Amino acid sequence: MFSVASSAAGHRRILSSIRHYCKRAPKKLRISEAVSGSELGTNIKVQGWVRSVRPQKKNLFLHVNDGSSTKHLQIVASSEQSDPLLTFGSAVEVTGVLKKSTHQKQPFELEAHQIHVIGECNPVDFPFKIKDRHSMEYIRQFPHLRCRTNVFSSLLRIRGEASTTIHTYFKENGYIQIHTPIITSNDCEGAGELFHVEPPSMETDENFFSVPAFLTVSGQLHLEVMSGAFSKVYTFGPTFRAENSQSRRHLAEFYMVEAEVSFMQSLEDLTKVMEDLFKSVTEHVLAQCAEDVDLFHKHVSPGHRDTINVMLTKRFPTITYSEAIDILNHSSEKFIFPTQWGCDLQTEHEKYLVKHCGNIPVFVTDYPYDLKPFYARHNKDDPEHTAAAVDLLVPGVGELCGGSLREERLDVLRARLEEVGLEHTYSWYLDLRRFGSVPHGGFGLGFERYLQCILGVDNIKDVIPFPRFSRSCLL
Ligand code: 4AD
């Protein structure tokens, strides 16, 4: 029989052994936490992948990272703990005490008590070598493994931060996020770059959705629906274009940031939003991901930091399309595509215009009406037959954003839709102009082109985790 007293003593014993266990059980930290040194003197456990191995006479030095930081954690172990399986790329779990380091390179290091190899990695077969700095072209060949490289880890951290910052920017500026559909029955841009969506075998001849359906090329028209009730809306998601292009700035699947603002009356107000978004997000990302961005500005695009700094301090100039054509016509550059009023601007023209304006982003406004989709607002008073549309051209990339004021006048819009035979397809869009129509405008920003622009990355395939483009859909 147990007495009350002995049962209390039993509880005390259990509690004290739990406390003892807690004292001894290592605290699990992420590498970013460990390298910060906040748990100095604590018994800790980290898990990650080996980024370097240096066996010395007495000690073994490892660098381990789990993707949470640009900094690797230095592990110091005695040479008896050395294991042939401890190779570059292997996955490990290390326990030990976090100490001050005597080495200048890092303030803290982990004195290992135990190193456990969780996943082996044969260094001969592993495509990345410990001492080599691999080019972006080389690592692109291994989409399933490239996140193991320093440069691609940095890219992914920057991409994640930029994405969050864009959402924060819109939230802080009073925009409502709208989840626009991926599958749609409209072709917003009318450029014939649609991927059709249909199950492989339909028993009847009918479409699955009763109407032809496509992967979205833009969420704009859905945002316009919402801008009939919310004065500021945005969307940020994947967008698809069946462009038969292998270019360094086109993908078949890319992410687009789109905003729509009701009661907006001028292109100048629209360009202010575009410039503010660009500068605010960039300043935040440069500050929040300083070391990751430095890696790009040092090794991938030397000198690019200066270009970015100039972009952030100067006001983006605005020129009209007609002025742009004049500049191009008066240039001594030999363009592949000839220029005359009415032609579409090609990448070579866009890059020239950016250089001409001092290698900073430049807005080009008031494009020929016939070059723009049906939704663009007609500049009625302009004898040159233009639309209130604007593109933002940026150094190294060319077009980063495309936007316009939207045609809010029912009669003008109806006439345009009739002209192109779309008045029935877009009867719902005409309704938006029948019931409480207001002047409004919006734009789309290509997220991958944005990353190319701030990091100085030449090829768009190097700023997206899994690039999709014509004749390639790996993984
Ligand atoms: O100029 P775009 O075609 O504009 C629209 O789709 C509008 N409906 C957006 C709007 O007003 N809401 O595309 C916007 C941006 C381009 O400026 C470019 O940065 C990017 O999307 N983009 C691409 N990025 C990568 N690969 C492609 N194939 C792209 N096509 C456009």
CB distance 77 to 59 below 8 Å: yes
Find tokens 């030999």 and name the residue. Answer: 334
Q: For the chain, first and last CA: distance in Å?
A: 66
Q: At what angle do helices 447-455 and 267-288 cross, to 10 degrees?
A: 60
**Mean predicted confidence (pLDDT) in 5-22:** 48
- Within 10 angstroms of residue 144's Cβ, the number of other Cβ atoms is 9
Max Cα-Cα span within the chain: 105
CB distance 263 to 439 below 8 Å: yes
The sign of the CA dihedral 94, 97, 102, 107 is positive
- Within 10 angstroms of residue 91's Cβ, the number of other Cβ atoms is 16
- Spacing, Cα 168 to ligand 1 middle (Å): 22
For ligand 1, pick from 215, 233, 254 the residue to mutate: most ligand atoms within 8 Å of CB: 254
Q: Where in the chain is the domain with CATH 3.30.930.10?
A: 146-462
pLDDT of 60-70, one tens digit each?
Answer: 999 999 999 99
pLDDT of 154-167, one tens digit each?
Answer: 999 999 999 999 99
pLDDT of 123-155, one tens digit each?
Answer: 999 999 988 889 999 999 999 999 999 999 999
Least confident piece of the model among 107-111, 123-127, 241-245, 459-463: 241-245
Provide residues with CB under 6 Å of ligand 1: 188-189, 218, 220, 241, 243, 250-251, 254, 256, 258, 399-403, 442-444, 446, 448-449
CA 445 to ligand 1: nearest atom: 15
pLDDT of 303-318, one tens digit each?
Answer: 999 999 999 999 999 9
Length of the chain measured in residues: 475
Q: Where in the chain is the domain with CATH 2.40.50.140?
A: 27-126
- Spacing, Cα 452 to ligand 1 middle (Å): 15
Residue partners of 297: CB distance under 8 A and separation at least 6:
303, 304, 305, 308, 455, 456
User: Between the CA of residue 425 and those of 209, 414, 432, what are the distances in Å?
Assistant: 15, 12, 14
Residues linked to residue 320 through DSSP beta bridges, in sequence order:
365
- Tokens at residue 343, please? 């032609």
Is residue 293 packed enough to be buried (19+ CB in 10 Å), middle (13-18) or exposed (0-12)?
Answer: buried
Residues linked to residue 391 through DSSP beta bridges, in sequence order:
364, 402
Residue partners of 325: CB distance under 8 A and separation at least 6:
339, 340, 341, 343
Residue 205 pLDDT level (bands cut at 50, 70, 90): confident
CA 188 to ligand 1: nearest atom: 8
Find tokens 């592990």 and name the residue. Answer: 75
Q: Which amino acid is at 123?
A: P
- Spacing, Cα 182 to ligand 1 middle (Å): 15
Is residue 414 packed enough to be buried (19+ CB in 10 Å), middle (13-18) or exposed (0-12)?
Answer: middle
Q: What is the pLDDT of residue 15?
A: 47
Q: Which CATH number fits domain 146-462: 3.40.630.10, 3.40.50.620, 3.30.930.10, 3.30.413.10?
A: 3.30.930.10
CB distance 346 to 366 below 8 Å: no
Which residue has a Cα nearest atom 9 of ligand 1? 444
d(CA 370, CA 387) in angstroms, rounded, equals: 8
pLDDT of 341-357, one tens digit each?
Answer: 999 999 999 999 999 99
Residue partners of 447: CB distance under 8 A and separation at least 6:
162, 163, 166, 236, 254, 255, 256, 257
Which residue has a Cα nearest atom 28 of ligand 1? 250
Q: What is the pLDDT of residue 309?
A: 97
Q: What is the pLDDT of residue 1?
A: 32
CA 191 to ligand 1: nearest atom: 3
Percentage of residues in the chain having pLDDT higher than 90: 86
d(CA 62, CA 45) in angstroms, rounded, equals: 15
Is residue 259 packed enough to be buried (19+ CB in 10 Å), middle (13-18) or exposed (0-12)?
Answer: buried
* CATH (residue range 27-126): 2.40.50.140
CB distance 301 to 457 below 8 Å: yes
Residue 13 pLDDT level (bands cut at 50, 70, 90): low
d(CA 473, CA 469) in angstroms, rounded, equals: 7
Phi, psi of 459, rounded to the nearest 5 degrees: -115, 125
pTM reported for the whole predicted model: 0.93
Residue partners of 461: CB distance under 8 A and separation at least 6:
140, 248, 251, 467, 469
3-state secondary structure at position 39 = coil
CB distance 188 to 220 below 8 Å: yes
Which residue has a Cα nearest atom 20 of ligand 1? 446
Instruction: Give the residue from 462, 463, 460, 465 showing the smallest Cα distance to 246.
Output: 460
Phi, psi of 115, rounded to the nearest 5 degrees: -125, 125
pLDDT of 276-331, one tens digit each?
Answer: 999 999 999 999 999 999 999 999 999 999 999 999 999 999 999 999 999 999 99
- Spacing, Cα 443 to ligand 1 middle (Å): 9
3-state secondary structure 64-88: EECCCCCCCEEEEEEHHHCCCCCCC
3-state secondary structure at position 177 = strand
- Spacing, Cα 390 to ligand 1 middle (Å): 12
- Tokens at residue 137, please? 């072209």
DSSP letter for each residue of 133-156 = ---HHHHHT-TTTGGGSHHHHHHH
- Spacing, Cα 60 to ligand 1 middle (Å): 52
Which residue has a Cα nearest atom 4 of ligand 1? 402
CB distance 158 to 294 below 8 Å: no
pLDDT of 83-128, one tens digit each?
Answer: 999 999 999 999 999 999 988 889 999 999 999 999 999 999 999 9
d(CA 8, CA 468) in angstroms, rounded, equals: 66
- Spacing, Cα 258 to ligand 1 middle (Å): 9
DSSP letter for each residue of 395-416 = TTTEEEEEEEEB---HHHHHHH
For ligand 1, pick from 217, 218, 260 the residue to mutate: most ligand atoms within 8 Å of CB: 218
3-state secondary structure 219-251: CHHHHHHHCCCCCEEEEEEEEECCCCCCCCCCC
Kindly state the helix (H) or strand (E) to which residue 329 belongs, with its residue range: helix 321-329
Q: What is the pLDDT of residue 243?
A: 87
